[in-house]
Structure 1
Amino acid sequence: MGDAQGTTLSFHEDGKNLRVGPRPEPVLVLALECGRPRAGSIRYRLSELSGIAIGRGIERKSEQAGTELTVRVPDKWMSSRHARIEPSFGRWVLTDTESKNGSIVDGHTTKRAVLTDGSLIELGHTLFIFFERMPIEVDAPPMVELVPDTGPAGLATLVPSWHGELQRLQQIASSEIPMLIEGESGTGKEVIARAIHTLSGRQGAFVPVNCGALPENLVESELFGYKKGAFSGAQTDHPGLVRAADGGTLFLDEIGDLPPSSQASLLRVLQEREVMPVGGTRAVPIDLRVVAATHRALDDMVAAQSFRHDLFARLAGFRVTVPTVAERRADLGLLIGALHTRVFPADHPGFDIDAARLLLRYPWPLNVRELEQALATAQVLASNELVRGDHLPDSVRTGRPPGAPRPVILNETDQKVRDQVVTALREHGGNVSAVARALDKDRKQIQRWIKRFNLDPGSYR
C-alpha cells in the first residue's frame, strides 16, 4: 500500500512498518557553472534541511552543520553571501541576501521568491534548478556530485529512477543476455549500447547496424555476408556485419524497421549462433552479444503480427527505456558538460549567462541529438569566445521547437504588464487577491490579465 506521499510501505512481523522505494521530496540541483561547464552538477536533498546559504568561494564546496547547508561556488559574479533558500509554510523560498548582482528566478530579478517545481535560479553566473517533488530513495545520500566523465559515457545521472535502471543495466552488461533499448529518437540509445559493450569486457568490435537504412533487397547479404559469385556483382567473399561483430557486440539499431523476410533469418542466427552467408553451403559459428534498439512500440507490432514474437522474445532478454531530455531535466547540466567536452577545445571559456539560461529553459523535444547539434553550431560560430545567445539556433533562442506554432508577440507595454503580474504572483504564492492589492488593481483586472497572458496562478503556489 502507499501513503499520501506515494511511498510504498512494508510491514514486519512485529507490526512496525518501514518505508521502501522512492519518496517525493524537494531537491535542489546545481546544474551549471557558465565559466566551468565541465565541473559537473550536484543534487541536494532538502527534506532534512532548515536552510541553504549560497555564495562565492575559492573552490566549489558544500558543508553541512546540523540542518544548515552552505554551498560555495568559485563564481566571480556571485557575492560571498548571495542568497538563502529555506522552507516557509510548506513551500521553499529564495531570499536574496543583499547580493551585488541580484538573484534571478525564472528570468525575473527578485528579492524574495516562492520556488515552484522546475524553477530556474540564477545566482551570478551559476544556475540551479529546484524540483518540488522528485521521487528519491529514502536511503539516498544527502548530496550527489557527478562530473560528465563519471564512468562510461551515458551512464551518469542525477535522476533517481534512471539511476536505478542504469544500475540494473550495469549488472546485466557482463552477461550474455540480449538487451532491448527503447526510447524516443535522439535520446542516446546508441550511447547506452556502447556503454554496455565497454562494460561487457568483450574483446571484439562494437558493430552498429541501422536496420532502417539497409535496402530491403540487400539486408541479408549485408548482415550475413555472401560468397563470391552468389549474385551478379559478388566479385569476392564478404563476411557481413554479423561476422564483423564476432567476439564483440552487434548493435541492431531501429530493429523495428527490419523487413519481415529478414526477421526469420536473424532469428536463426540468434538461435543457432551461426551464420550462413548468401550463396554459402556451410554455416560459420559466431560468438557475439546482441543489443537492439527501437523508437517503435514493438509490443504493438508483435500484437499486429508485423514483428515476429519469437524474435522479440530472443531480443528482449533485458529491456530498458531511455528517458527523454524533458524527463531528465536534472541532468541537463551534465549533458551540456559532456557535449562541451566532446565539441569544444579544452581551454574554451564556456557560456555567457544568457546562453546558459536559454539552454536550460528550452524543452529539447528532439532530445540529446538536438542539444548536440545546437552546441556543434555554437562551437563553429563562437570559436574560442564565450558562447552567446546569438550563437544558438533560432528554436533555442525563441523557445519555440521545430513545428510549434508561432507565439503571440507582446508589445513593450504588454510585456511590462505581464512581467509585473508574474513577479507579483511569484511573491504572493499565486494568491490573486494579494496580487491585486500589491498592484493596486481590481481583482477582476488581474484575472483578465492572467487569462490574456495565459498564466497559471496554481504554478506559483
Structure 2
Amino acid sequence: MDSFRVLLVEDDKVQRELLTELLEEEGFSVASASSGERALDLFRKERYDAVITDVRLPGMSGLELLQKLKELEPSVEIIVITAFSSVDDAVKAIKMGAFHYVTKPFEPEVLLNLLRKACKLRLLSKPSRECCGLVYSSKVMENLINQASLFARSDAPVLITGESGSGKELLARFIHRESRRKVQFVAVNCGALPKELFEAELFGYEKGAFTGATSSKKGLVEEAEGGTLFLDEIGELPLELQPKLLRFLQEGEFRRVGSTKLRKASVRIIAATNRDLKRMVKDGKFREDLYYRLSVLTLNILPLRDRPEDIPVLIEHFLRKYSKKYSKKVRITLEALELLLAYSYPGNVRELENLIHRLVILSRGEVDRALLTSFMNLTSPSVSFTPDLSKPLPKVIEEVERAMIEEALRRANFVQTRAARLLGIDEKSLRYKRKKYGI
C-alpha cells in the first residue's frame, strides 16, 4: 500500500508517534494531527486516501470531524478508534459514513488489515481515464498527459524515457494526435533493423544503389512528411549511424542511398528509449550533440510499480477488453486481486495485459488465487541457492529462508505488506523473521 496517504488524528502524543511509526513501516505515507481543527487544516491543503481518528479529541470531536471530512471529500475512507465503553459512538460513526471502527485496546494487525481494505476500496472506486490507449487514474499520469498535451503544440523534438512495456509509443501517438501534424505517424524500431539497412530504410534508396534495389523507394522520413516520425529504442542506434540522423535533425535535409540529390522533409521527431542516454553519452556510446537535439523536450513514464493506483483500473480495462473478445463473463476474487496488487510487474503494463489476457482464456468465469498460482510464480520468489551440504539441515533451512525473504523484499520494493503476500505469510511473522535474521 505504498504511496497511499493516511491522516492520523490522535491527541495522545505517545500513541500518535507509535501509530505513525507502525503505518510508515508498512509503506503508508502518514501525516498526523493532535486535534480535529488541525486535521481539517491539513485535509483542506492536501487530500488523503484514508483518515484514522480517535472519537475523543480536545475541542472538535471525532464524530464532528468525520462529518466535516465527508462534506469536503465524500469518498474518503475513515476509520474510527473508540474505547470499548463508547461503542455507541462507533455505531454512530458507521451510520455517518465511516468505513469501520476499532476498539481500544487493539492489536496493530487489526488496524492494519482495516486500513488495507479501506485503501483497496479507495483504489477500486477511483475513476479511470483513457487517452490513446493509455489507461490511468493516478495523479502522476494525469500530470504526464497534461505535460504531453502542452508539448504537442510545439514542433520541437520530444524524448520519452521509461522502462520497456510502460507505454512510450502510446504516449508518442497521443502527442501526435494532439498536435497540428495529424497526417502520418511512422514508427521505426532502431534496435530491430540491421545497421547495414538502417540508412536505406530511414532515407530511402535509388534504383541500383545496391544488390536487389530494382526500383527506387521512399524512406520512412519521406513517408512521414507532414506528420510524426517515431524513433523507438533510439539508444540502440549504432554509433556510426548517429551522425546521419544528426544531420537530418539539424538541417532537415537528407540523401537517399545511391543519390547525390539533397532532399528536404518536414517531420516532427519523437524518440523513445529505456536506456540511460546521459550515461551512454558519458561512456562514449551515444553522441552528446545528438542527445541534446533529441531531448529539447523530455517526458518520463514511471514504471507501473511506482504508480499502483493505476493497477486496478488497468486490470478492469484489460478484463473488459478480453472478456468481450472471447465472449466470456470473468470476475476476479478479492484474494486474487490482492495478489495482483502486490506484484511488482517488471514488464510493466505490457506484462499486466499479457497476464489478464491469459487469465481470461484459462478461467471458467472466475479468477481466483489458485488459478493465478497455477501458471504464474507470483507467490514464491525464485531464489538461486546452492546449499552447503557440510552444514546441518536446520542451518541450511535458515539460509534458504533468509534468501527468500530478501528476494521477496527486493521484489516488493521493501514494502513489508507486499513482501508478506508474496511469501504467503502474515506480516507479524515477517517482522519476526526480519528481526531474527537482521534483515
Counterpart for residue 217 of structure 2: 238
**Residues 408-447 of structure 1, C-alpha deviation per residue, up to 9 Å, x if partnerless?**
499xxxx9xx99974699xxxx8xxxxxxxxxxxxxxxx6
- In structure 2, the partner of 1:156 is 136
Deviation at 1:331, TM superposition (A): 1.5
Secondary structure of the structure 1 residue equivalent to 2:329: coil
| Conserved 8 A contact 1:242-1:250 | yes
Which secondary structure state, in structure 2, belongs to the residue aligned with residue 282 of structure 1?
A: coil
Question: How many equivalent residue pairs?
Answer: 336
Q: Tell me, what secondary structure is at the counterpart of 2:198?
A: helix
Q: Is the 8 A contact 2:51 2:78 kept in 1?
A: no
Which of 105, 111, 116 lines up with 1:114 in the alignment? 111
**Residues 1:351 and 2:336 are matched in the alignment:** no
Encode CA deviations 1:21-77: one digit per residue, 9 max, x unaligned.
Answer: xxx6569xxxxxxxxxxxxxxxx933896769xxxxxxxxxxx9422369689xxxx
Whole-angstrom CA distance in 1 between matches of 2:373 and 2:367: 12
Distance 1:304 1:252 in 2: 22
The residue number in structure 2 matching 1:372 is 353
> After the TM superposition, which residues 51-450 of structure 1 pair with which residues of structure 2 at under 5 Å, given as runs?
65-68=67-70, 85-86=79-80, 113-115=110-112, 120-121=116-117, 127-128=121-122, 145-149=126-130, 151-154=131-134, 156-160=136-140, 162-345=141-324, 348-382=329-363, 385-392=365-372, 396=376, 398-400=378-380, 404-405=383-384, 408=401, 422=427
SS in 2 for 1:310: helix
Alignment CA distance shift 1:119-1:247 (3 Å): farther
Work out the CA distance in 1 between the residues paired with 2:135 and 2:153: 15
**Residues 308/112 of structure 1: CA separation in 2 closer, same or farther (3 Å cut):** closer
Amino acid of the residue matched to residue 85 of structure 1?
I
Whole-angstrom distance in 1 between the partners of 2:81 and 2:47: 13
What amino acid is the match of 1:389?
Answer: R
Cα separation, partners in 2 of 1:263 and 1:341, compared to 1, 3 Å: farther
Whole-angstrom CA distance in 1 between matches of 2:210 and 2:373:
48
| Separation in structure 2 between the aligned mates of residue 419 and residue 455 of structure 1, nearest angstrom | 20
* Contact 1:358–1:396 (Cα < 8 Å) also in 2: no
| Helix, strand or coil at the partner of 1:392 | helix
1:183-238 Cα shifts (integer Å, max 9, x gaps): 22222211211211122142222222111111111111111111111100011222
Task: Give identity over the alignment, percent.
Answer: 32
Asked if the contact 2:152–2:176 (Cα under 8 Å) also holds between the matched residues in 1, the reply is: yes
TM-score (norm 2): 0.64
For 1:134, the equivalent position in structure 2 comes to none
Query: Where do 5+ consecutive residues of structure 2 fail to align?
Result: 6-28, 33-45, 55-65, 83-89, 101-106, 386-399, 406-419
Q: What secondary structure sits across from 2:205 in the alignment?
A: coil
Determine the C-alpha separation between the residues in 1 that align with 2:112 and 2:177: 41
Q: Distance in 2 between matches of 1:342 and 1:242?
A: 34
Query: 2:47 maps to which residue?
Result: 45
The separation in 2 between residues aligned to 1:388 and 1:239, in whole angstroms, is 52
Q: Structure 1 pair 242/391, CA: closer, same or farther in 2 (3 Å)?
A: farther
Question: What's the counterpart of residue 80 of structure 1?
Answer: none
Q: Give the Å deviation of 1:179.
A: 0.7
Q: Find the aligned partners of 2:118 and 2:67 in 1 and give their Cα distance.
A: 25
- TM-score norm. by structure 1 comes to 0.61
Counterpart Cα distance in 2 of 1:155 and 1:173 = 19
Deviation at 1:169, TM superposition (A): 2.1
Alpha-carbon spacing, 1:395–1:270, altered in 2? closer, same or farther (3 Å): farther
SS in 2 for 1:246: coil
Q: Which amino acid aligns with 2:293?
A: R
The one-letter code sitting in structure 2 at the alignment partner of 1:176 is D
Local SS of the residue matching 1:370: helix
What is the alpha-carbon root mean square deviation over aligned residues?
4.3
The whole-number CA distance in structure 2 between the counterparts of 1:420 and 1:244 is 57
- C-alpha separation in 2, matches of 1:313 and 1:286: 21
The structure-2 alpha-carbon separation of the partners of 1:129 and 1:26, relative to structure 1 and needing over 3 Å to count, comes to farther
Partners of 2:128 and 2:173 in 1: CA distance:
19
Alpha-carbon distance in structure 2 between the residues aligned to 1:361 and 1:227: 55
Aligned residue identity for 2:117: I
User: Secondary structure at 2:299's aligned position in 1?
Assistant: strand
What's the CA shift for 1:374? 0.8
Q: Is there any run of 5+ residues in structure 1 with no aligned partner, and where?
A: 6-23, 28-43, 53-63, 74-82, 89-94, 104-109, 131-143, 431-446, 457-461
Shift of 1:250: 1.2
